Amino acid sequence: VIIVKFGGSILKSGYDYLRAARIVRSLVDEGKKVIVVVSAMKGITDMLLSFGSRSASDILGTVKQRYFTSLEEIAPPIDPQLVDIVGEMSRLSSELTKALWAAKVLEEISPRVRDYIVSFGERFSILLMSAALRKVGLKCKWFTGREAGIVTDASFGDAKPLHEVSKKLVTDTLGPVLEEDVIPVVAGFIAGTIEGTVTVLGRGGSDYTATLLASYLGAKEVRLYTDVPGIMSIDPSISSDARVVPLMSFDEAMELAYLGAKNFHPRALEPATENLIPVRIKNTFSPEKAGTLITRHEPPLLSRIVKAVALIRGVAILTIEGAGIVGGASRVAYEVYKAMNEAGINVIMSSQNASQVSISLIIPQNALEKAVSYVKRATEGLEGTLRIEVEDDVCVVGVVGAGMRGTPGVAARVFSAIAREGINIRMIAQGSSELNISFVVKETDGFNAVRALHREFRLGEIS
């Protein structure tokens, strides 16, 4: 059994569903049993989430237009093979219409209602994927996440799967379908409580759906099809030397995902890592290419010390410093982190000097103002003087590779390469996992910094 997931980035039209279906067809022809997981079409989740700032009719119009046009691209509407799908599409449309108008009339979008509304992106998508699979001659059956058996708690927006029940339900539901050589088409990202209330797993959650299903069913492999050729050694828009990283460990991939991906679900690789299920990142436009294989750390295969470099832009440094604080650095750190948590601000990176109190945090640029006011308030009562300083024209450079662990001299190479470029380093952090060295430079130095490192570690060359 392999789980194949098609992301929203590659689902822009009906032709994209057909391309995906042909990939599934070739896997089936190779004798594999396949479960297909799909995201919503590109842009649809954002569209549905904009409810509240955008009008109900606007959203409804776009969502319907995108999905119905795509269905026509897959097959003419009178195609007798698709009567049930067309019927289901219409039923979903009126369900969404009712939901949006009800929420509008009540002028209330609770997290629960939001999850329900946002679920339509994936619910339409499984129908289109089913239509495309039938067009390429495959038998399939569609499931929402909850219908497939994924049960979560009721933390709407970011629900946590309840593994024990889910595992049993998923096995009982999808097992027999696979037995009959029918392909389950499962909606990514959406799930439900035990009572059946719709929940979602958090942004980027369809990768998580795929790895969860794989772990529940003991699948052989997870394949994530996307619009890039694999995990890249550097952002190709920054360097034309960018190369696909053929092999990565779970740890490295997770590290890089946090550094690079906006929509990466933080728990997506967890089920695969725990159950040692290999994950392949592949491109839909060239499915014959190997892409990136993420697997268990196999030292002989992981010959490269550094695998990839990444740049995080749109960040700011917030520094809190002062001497003679009663309670010292840990007291300040406690107040500052508590404040960030209360403000709902994600701390991307942090470092603390060993001397006096000086704690620097990297946070999103657009959260800077809020962060300053929360920190001010939180540290007001502390005895001693604290200064708050900010810099908003910086970026984070991350160097990732499990081979750095216990290898002396990697940091020296990193910083020498940066020094040769005449770039000044503003802040440094290396966790004791030693998988990643991150540092902060001026925003204007960011591109040069990652390019210099890419060259230093020869990441553009075939290993």
Nearer to Mg ion, 3 or 320 (CB): 3
Mark the segment that binds ligand ASP (CB under 6 A) among 54-62, 200-208, 228-236, 274-282.
Answer: 200-208
Comparison of 13 and 263: residue with beta carbon closer to Mg ion: 263
Compute the least distance from the CB of residue 12 to Mg ion, in Å: 14
- Which of ligand ASP, Mg ion, none interacts with 230 (beta carbon under 5 to 8 A by kind)? none
Instruction: Name which of 11 and 395 has its Cβ closer to ligand ASP.
Output: 11
Give the Cβ contact number of residue 88 at 10 Å.
Answer: 17
- When the beta carbons of 9 and 350 are compared against Mg ion, the nearer one is 9
Q: Which two tokens stand for residue 449?
A: 């910094």
The least CB distance from residue 378 to Mg ion, in Å, is 35
What is the CB neighbour count within 10 angstroms for residue 163?
Answer: 15
d(CA 408, CA 411): 8
List, in sequence order, every residue forming a beta bridge with 437; answer none if it has no partner: 399, 430
Largest CA distance in the chain: 79
- How near is the Cβ of 63 to ligand ASP at its closest, in Å? 13
Is 161 a binding residue for ligand ASP by CB under 6 A? The answer is no
Determine contact, residues 398/306, Cβ cutoff 8 Å. no
Q: Which among 405, 276, 252, 379 has a CA at the least distance from the CA of 318?
A: 379
The reply on whether position 205 binds ligand ASP by CB under 6 A is: yes
Interface residue with ligand ASP, options 33, 45, 269, 359 (CB under 6 A):
45
Site residues, Mg ion (CB under 5 A): 7, 204, 263
Q: Does 204 bind ligand ASP (CB under 6 A)?
A: yes
- Judged by beta carbon, residue 184 or residue 403, the one nearer ligand ASP is 184
Phi, psi of 76 (to 5 degrees): -60, 145
Q: Which residue has the tokens 């549905």?
A: 48
Question: Distance from CA of residue 116 to its chain's centroid?
Answer: 21
Which segment (58-66, 91-99, 201-209, 354-362) binds ligand ASP by CB under 6 A?
201-209
Question: Which is nearer to ligand ASP, 23 or 38 (by Cβ)?
Answer: 38
Helices (H), 75-198: 83-106, 111-118, 120-135, 145-148, 163-179
Beta strands at 308-322 and 387-400: parallel, antiparallel or unpaired: antiparallel
The label of the residue with tokens 């697997």 reads 295
189 binds, among ligand ASP, Mg ion, none (CB under 5 to 8 A by kind): ligand ASP
Residues from 237 through 296 that contact ligand ASP (CB under 6 A) = 263
Which tokens in the block code for residue 341? Answer: 């948590």
Question: Rounded to whole angstroms, what are the CA distances from 373 to 318, 370, 379, 386, 402?
Answer: 11, 5, 10, 14, 38
Tell me phi and psi for residue 409, to 5 degrees: 95, -10
Contacting range for ligand ASP; rule: CB under 6 A; set: 86-94, 107-115, 199-207, 243-251: 199-207
Q: How far apart are CA 180 and CA 272, in angstroms?
A: 26
CB 207 → ligand ASP: shortest distance, Å?
A: 6
Stretch 120-149 residues interacting with ligand ASP (CB under 6 A)? 121
Q: How many residues bind ligand ASP (CB under 6 A)?
A: 14
229 touches ligand ASP by CB under 6 A: no
211 part of the interface to ligand ASP, by CB under 6 A: no
Look at residue 121 and give the partner it binds from ligand ASP, Mg ion, none, a contact being a CB closer than 5 to 8 Å depending on partner kind.
ligand ASP
Considering only residues 19, 39, 170, 228, which one is a binding residue for ligand ASP as defined by CB under 6 A? 39
The continuous run of DSSP H or E covering 23 comes out as helix 14-29
Of Mg ion, ligand ASP, none, which one sits near residue 403, judging by CB under 5 to 8 A according to partner kind? none
| Binders of ligand ASP in range 162-191 (CB under 6 A) | 188-189
From 37-45, 162-170, 315-323, 342-350, give the range in contact with ligand ASP by CB under 6 A.
37-45
Residue 230 Cβ vs ligand ASP, minimum distance, rounded to whole Å: 18
**45 touches, from ligand ASP, Mg ion, none (C-beta below 5 to 8 Å by class):** ligand ASP
Name the residue among 386, 385, 392 with its Cα closest to residue 426. Answer: 392
Residue nearest to Mg ion (CB): 204
Using only C-alpha atoms, the chain has a radius of gyration, in whole angstroms, of 24
Q: Which does 203 bind (CB under 5 to 8 A by kind): Mg ion, ligand ASP, none?
A: ligand ASP
Q: Which is nearer to ligand ASP, 207 or 445 (CB)?
A: 207
Residues forming beta bridges with residue 191, ordered by sequence position: 199
Q: Is 398 helix (H, G, I), strand (E, B) or coil?
A: strand
Residue keyed to tokens 């049960």: 151
Q: Report what 291 binds from Mg ion, ligand ASP, none; CB cut-off 5-8 Å by kind.
A: none
Residue 8 sits in the site that holds ligand ASP (CB under 6 A): yes
Q: Which is nearer to Mg ion, 167 or 265 (CB)?
A: 265
CA distance to 78, 209, 263, 396, per residue, from 362 (Å): 56, 30, 19, 8
Rounded Cα distance between 398 and 349, Å, is 11
Q: Which residues bind ligand ASP (CB under 6 A)?
A: 7-8, 39-40, 45, 121, 188-189, 203-207, 263
